[in-house]
Amino acid sequence: MDLKEIEIAKEEYIDYLNVNNYSKRTIINYTLAINKFKNYLESIKAEVIDPDNINELLEDYKKYLKNTNNYTDSTINQYITNLLTFLNRNGLATKVSRIKEEKITQIKYLTPEEIETAIATIDIIKKDKEVAKQFKAIICLMFYSGARVSEIEKLNRNDIAKDNTSAYVILKGKGNKTIRQPITTKVYDMLQDILKDRDNKEPNAPLFLNQYNKRLKVRDIQRTIKRIAIATDKAITEDKGIAPEPPIADRLTPHALRHSYAIYLLMNKNRPINEVKGLLRHESITTTEKYLKLSNKDLRNTYNDIFN
């Protein structure tokens, strides 16, 4: 098939798509894919395509799209998929592989400003001052330590400490492994404030309590944080006249606070990635590197020391 025959085959294929009621968008996409490939063949002065050279041509074409146009892997794969449908229909069956796309998981996080607003909202949904004080401490602790919600549940009075150099919390991680995690002086003071009037002074007494003075469970924390998130959306909407996008209710979760801690360290504090890996207790540096994909000027500018 030479270049002239490709053009004729393209017109016949477009007629086929129209007759079979394919959408305008689909027809445009197929036309674009065929035209791009035809232009490429002209640029390399390829006079003919046949079963003997089609695979090699397509492999080179993929590299051309990647290096010359800086297309994403997903876009290149779409061009190749559309092109293969056309080629197979015209007797040039091929099994050229798609580019393996990097799977990027959407990271949910909040800026310090959004977290500050959420903390201020706690007083609205928790009229009991002691309960409100406790959840303010929980959210601050999670944001400034990266602690998992399961680790928050296990905390006892004696897990909060301070020495001559810093304040820290003793987290019980996977396999009951204990970790000394640094916290800010402000978080330390908040935790001490909720403990000062407690009757139970036993070292192993739970740090966070439910309404029955029993250990606060993971589900209790998750449920209350969800209520705080919904109330925060409402508060922001009433204050600014526009709802946050994406909604806080879709992002404010215990694990999102852990993500926010990681991003805060990388963007605002400019901490080395190996240090952040250690603070998050990731087994692989690859897990930590996913946060660097968010490293851009706009995001960096949002991360200010709002609490300090």
Q: Which residues are catalytic?
A: 148, 174, 255, 258, 282, 291
- CA gap 41, 48 in Å, rounded: 9
Contact predicate 157/202, CB 8 Å = yes
- CA gap 218, 275 in Å, rounded: 28
* Cα dist from 220 to 48, 138, 181, whole Å: 68, 12, 23
Contact predicate 87/54, CB 8 Å = yes
Contact predicate 83/29, CB 8 Å = no
Non-local (6+) Cβ contacts of 106 within 8 A are none
The pair of three-digit structure tokens given for residue 161, joined into one six-digit string: 């400490």
Non-local (6+) Cβ contacts of 86 within 8 A are 9, 10, 13, 30, 33, 34
The pair of three-digit structure tokens given for residue 217, joined into one six-digit string: 């469970």
Nearest to 259 by CA among 103, 107, 106: 107
